[in-house]
Amino acid sequence: MASRRGTTAEGFAVLGVAIRREPVIFTLSTIGSLLFGALTVADAWVLGWATDHAVLPAFENGEIDGSLLWAVLALFLGVAILRAVGIVARRLGAGVMQYRMQAHSRRAVTRQYLSLPMEWHQRHPTGQLLSNANSDVEAAWGPIAPLPMAVGTVAMMVIAVVQMFLADVVLALVGLLVFPAVVVANLVYQHYSSPLMTKAQQLRAELSEVAHESFDGAMVVKTLGREREETARFAEIANRLRDVNIRAGRIRAAFDPTLAALPNLGVLVVLAVGVARVLSGATDPGDVVTVAYLLTIVSFPIRSIGWLLGEFPRSVVGFHRVRSVLRARGEMRYGDRAAARTDAGARLEVEHLAYRYDPDQHLLDDVTFTVEPGRTVALVGATASGKSTLTSLMTRLIDPDEGRILLDGTDLRDLGRGELAGVVSVVAQTAFLFDDTVRGNVTLGADVSDDEVWAALRAAQADGFVAALPHGLDTRLGERGTSLSGGQRQRISLARALVRRPRLLILDDATSAVDPEVEARILEALRSGTSDATLVVVAYRKATISLADEVVHLQDGRVADRGTHAELLERSPAYAHLVNAYELQAAE
């Protein structure tokens, strides 16, 4: 936890980052703030001058000089107009600077999310990632809004203090006793508010995480009748966040009035001392009015600086949370090799592959096999044998601990960024569809003609039900494709992969929700397609496995056997028991 001094220093360091990135806008907004500050002090001079040269003579002579009155009005009007220009420049510059920094940080966080490997994302909940990109970014750059005003008002305060000393040294010294009290109030506020701000940001991330899980698992929650328990889980964190925010609000509620009251108390003291000095002939009434008014002006810079310092605890916490994402290690390394873009299938070589989630748990160990171009290979194995992990490695969502995977003789790690995605497509068991049209879900914004979309839908055996939809390709599918059945969603996902004409297509049990007859037609269409793509299928059904040219049987993270489906049935009792068990379970 940062100390009081540390919070202030770190807060100014965060602002330094913003100033270095947006120096022009900061300079313009600061100039506007300086103009506002100087003209505000000029108001005090005009008021004092008008008191001595217009108001007091009017009382003494019983009449007002018309030309002098117009001069006073012109001075006040000119000062007001210029001060309004300064306010516009200050607020506009501060707003533009703040929103630019927020946009920059969100883009940086998003780029970092995309560059970090899947294993990093698996260790960080989605709610926390959303909080980092949203509330933490807003908190980090919150002090930018009062920053130009605070800088300008510091100059205003310096000018005002100098003018106070020029007017009356004694009254100036009396008024400046306010400053130590303000410093103490700020230090006390930061001491009590910093830990609460830290806790609040943490709870916001936890709340986002629970909300995200609840929305994603809405069907599970409702079908199992767990609405009350899920609501209680959400309410528990929401109540904790409420309590922390209330405690922080109470501290802020005591701090703001104290900050506003201290300068006013100083004004009362100045007036009391000033009256005594006027009666004794030590000063003029105009000087007392000037010093008192200048002290009220000084109270505004004090409050603005207090607002700035009051934002520092939350800003520092948010900045550290964002920076922890930007400094995260594990970024994927890419080479400069290009993948061949042809219609021929790719050659896939897996050499002595090993992968573990922790030092004591080998998920894959010394896995070696080759898939020749245009061939279909089925990966078969019991649960937790490493099939899905292997598909993640083949698509380079994660990198192996040992060994390598070659595509046409090139290590996947030597390919340039985006090269692998250009020639390899994967279809997962869980089909994810966007709240978009059929066309949008298949193309994902790629420059693909409708003829190519329909060709991909035919290969995925999805053209029939898509044609029957109310608006065909223009039919919106709803969030996550809720208007379609599980098998239909899987076929749309398969069409999404096929429309890119991949040279290597990986299906991770991607037809589990499709009946065997349709699945057989899909695989037959893939085998006889014009692209001649190499096909790797994670399969369970005997009918699907039998269509493969070769089967790789995985057992406990190792290749137990390889060969055709018929060969393995004959020579491997473990394989025969496994595929027959799948068939019996499906039949039941």
Q: What is the pLDDT of residues 11-48, one digit of tens each?
A: 888 888 888 888 888 888 888 877 877 777 677 667 66
253 and 317 part of one domain: yes
Domain tally, the chain: 2
pLDDT band at 486; cut points 50, 70, 90: confident
Query: CA 297: distance to chain centroid?
Result: 40
Q: Does 523 map to a domain?
A: yes
Q: Does 247 map to a domain?
A: yes
Asked if pLDDT for residue 588 goes beyond 60, the answer is no
Asked if pLDDT for residue 1 goes beyond 50, the answer is no
Q: Does 262 map to a domain?
A: yes
- Indicate the average pLDDT of the chain: 78
Helix, strand, coil shares of the chain as percentages rounded to 5? Answer: 65, 10, 20
pLDDT band at 582; cut points 50, 70, 90: low
102 and 139 part of one domain: yes
Asked if pLDDT for residue 128 goes beyond 80, the answer is no
Q: Does 106 map to a domain?
A: yes
119 and 66 part of one domain: yes
Q: What is the pLDDT of residues 382-439, one digit of tens each?
A: 877 888 888 888 888 888 888 888 888 888 888 888 788 888 888 887 778 887 888 8
Q: Measured between alpha carbons, how far is 46 from 50 in angstroms, rounded to an integer? A: 6
Give the model's pLDDT for residue 330: 66
We report the CATH number of the domain holding residue 382 as 3.40.50.300
Give the model's pLDDT for residue 27: 85
233 and 275 part of one domain: yes
257 and 370 part of one domain: no
Asked if pLDDT for residue 586 goes beyond 70, the answer is no
Q: Does 196 map to a domain?
A: yes
Give the model's pLDDT for residue 515: 66
Strands (E), 444-540: 504-508, 534-538
Asked if pLDDT for residue 6 goes beyond 80, the answer is no
22 and 158 part of one domain: yes
Give the model's pLDDT for residue 4: 42
Q: What is the pLDDT of residues 514-569, one digit of tens each?
A: 666 677 777 777 766 545 788 888 877 777 787 788 888 888 888 888 888 888 88
321 and 363 part of one domain: no
Cα distances from 491 to residues 246, 374, 479, in angstroms, run 51, 22, 17
Q: Does 336 map to a domain?
A: no
Least trusted range by pLDDT, from 21-30, 69-78, 232-241: 69-78
Among 275, 291, 326, give the residue marking a domain's end. 326
Single out the residue of 71, 553, 558, 495 nearest to residue 353, CA to CA: 558
Single out the residue of 379, 377, 372, 376 nearest to residue 346, CA to CA: 372
290 and 353 part of one domain: no
Cα torsion through 233, 236, 241, 244, rounded to 10: -160
29 and 125 part of one domain: yes
Among 296, 326, 356, give the residue marking a domain's end. 326
Cα distances from 557 to residues 118, 156, 366, 367, 548, in angstroms, run 20, 72, 8, 8, 21
317 and 400 part of one domain: no
Give the model's pLDDT for residue 394: 87
Strands 504-508 and 424-427: parallel
Percent of the chain past pLDDT 90, that is, above it, reads: 0
Q: Are 86 and 35 in contact (CB under 8 A)?
A: yes
Give the range with max mean pLDDT: 111-120, 173-182, 561-570: 561-570
CB atoms within 10 A of CB 479: 12
CB atoms within 10 A of CB 304: 24
Amino acid at site 544: T
Asked if pLDDT for residue 202 goes beyond 80, the answer is no
Give the model's pLDDT for residue 3: 44
321 and 362 part of one domain: no
Q: What is the pLDDT of residues 285-341, one digit of tens each?
A: 767 777 777 777 666 666 667 667 767 777 887 888 888 888 877 667 788 888 877
Say which residue the tokens 């990966």 belong to.
379
Between residues 362 and 244, the one the model is more confident about: 244
Q: Measured between alpha carbons, how far is 414 from 333 in angstroms, rounded to an integer? A: 8
Give the model's pLDDT for residue 140: 84
Task: Classify residue 356 by burial, with Cβ atoms within 10 Å: 0-12, 13-18, 19+.
Answer: middle
196 and 280 part of one domain: yes
Q: Does 521 map to a domain?
A: yes
Q: Does 254 map to a domain?
A: yes
Between residues 154 and 143, the one the model is more confident about: 143
Q: What are phi and psi of 258, to 5 degrees?
A: -60, -45
Among 326, 358, 385, give the residue marking a domain's end. 326
As beta bridge partners, residue 567 has: none
Give the domain range for residue 422: 348-431+503-587
Give the model's pLDDT for residue 270: 73
We report the CATH number of the domain holding residue 29 as 1.20.1560.10
